[in-house]
Amino acid sequence: MKKNNTLKVLFNLVVLGAMIGIIYYLIQSSLADIFAELRSTSPIVLAGIFLIGIIYLFVEGQSIKEIAKHFQSNFSKQDGFWTSCYVAFYRIITFGTGTLVSEVYFYRKKGLKASQGVGVTALHMVMYKFAVITYAVAGLIIQFSLFYSNSPKMIPFILAGMILTIVLIAVLFALSSSINLQVLLLIIANKLFKSEKLRSWVDAGNLQIYSLRETVRTIMLDRTAVWRIYSWNVLKLALWYIIPYFVLMNNHPSLDFLQAFSFTSFAVILAGVVPTPGGIGSFEFVYLLLFRPLVGTVDAISSVLLYRFGTFVLPFLLGFVYVLIERRKKIHEEIQEAKKERKAMND
C-alpha cells in the first residue's frame, strides 16, 4: 500500500510535469504570435477583451448549468464557468482529441452519471450549433446585397455551412426522438462496418445519441428550459462576435458593426467547410479572407490573434490554473496518505 501511494504521487508529478512541458511548447510555437500581439496591444483594448472573455465564460457557465442542473441540483453557475475553462485547457493540451472526454469527466466529478455527462455534452453542443446557425442566417439576410456585389463566390460556401449545421442538428434530434430509427441505423452500421475501430466509433456514437435522448426527455419536462438554454447560447456567441469590432473600431471608425459581427459569424460557420492551405487554421483563413478587404492585412491579422486570445487562450489559461490547483491538492492528499501509512507501520 505504501509503495502504491508513492507511485500515485510520482505519477501525478509526472503528469503535471508533462502538462507544463506541453504548455511551454505551445507558448513557444502555436501561441507565440498571440502573446506577441498582446505585448503590442493597448492596455484599454486588452482590458476590454479580458472583460468580454470573462463575461462570456459566466454566460457559458449559466448555459451549462441550465442543462446539468436537471441531473445534479447543486450544479452551479461557477461549476459551469470552470467546466468551460477545464474543457478549453484539455482541448489545447490534447490538440483537440480530449475535448469531449474532458467535459464528460468534469460532469462525473460533479456527481453526474457517465451517461448523463455524455447527454449534457451532446445537448450543449447542439444548442451551440443552434445559436451559430441563428446568427449566420441573420447575417446572410442582412449582408446579402453586400456579399452578392463583392464576394458572390462566398455565398455557396456560407449556404453549405448552414445546410451541414442544420442537417447535423436535425439528424441528432431525429435520432434522439426515435429509438426505432436509432436501432435501424445501428443495425445498418453493424452490417457496413466490420473493423474493430469503426465499430467502436459506432458504439460511442450510439451511446452519445442514447444519452442525448435521455437528456432531452428529462429537460423537456421543464417547458421553458430549452428556450433558456438557447437564449444563453445566443448571448454567449454575441459576446464572441463583438470582439473583432471592438478591436478594430479605433483604427477603422467607418467599419460597420453589423458587417463585422456578421463576418465573424460567417467565419465560425465556415470554419469546418472551406478547405484551407496547410499551416493555417480554417477559422483564421476564412476570417482573414473576409476582413482583409475591410481593414487591411496587418489589422486583420492583429484582430484575429486578439479574438483567439479572448475566445481560445484566456479560457485555456484559467483552465490551467484550475487543473494546477486540482493536481496540487491531489498530490498533497496522496502525500498525506503515504505519511499516515508510514506512521501506522512504524507504530
Answer yes or no: are the C-beta atoms of 245 and 260 closer than 8 Å. yes
202-208 contact pairs (CB < 8 A, 24+): 206/182, 207/115, 207/118, 208/118, 208/121, 208/122
How many degrees, rounded to 5, is the angle at CA 322 between CA 118 and CA 243? 80
| Model confidence at 206: pLDDT above 90 | no
Please state the rounded mean pLDDT for residues 81-85: 96
State the cell numbers at 274: 472551406
The pLDDT mean for the chain works out to 83
Please state the rounded mean pLDDT for residues 94-102: 83
Domain ranges of the chain: 2-346
pLDDT for the residue 196: 66
| Model confidence at 239: pLDDT above 80 | yes
- Coil/strand/helix, residue 144: helix
pLDDT for the residue 278: 40
Neighbours of 298 (CB within 10 A): 10
Answer yes or no: are the C-beta atoms of 267 and 286 closer than 8 Å. yes
Q: Cα dihedral sign for 284, 287, 293, 296?
A: negative
Q: Cα dihedral sign for 61, 65, 68, 72?
A: positive
Percent of the chain with pLDDT over 90: 39
| Model confidence at 279: pLDDT above 70 | no
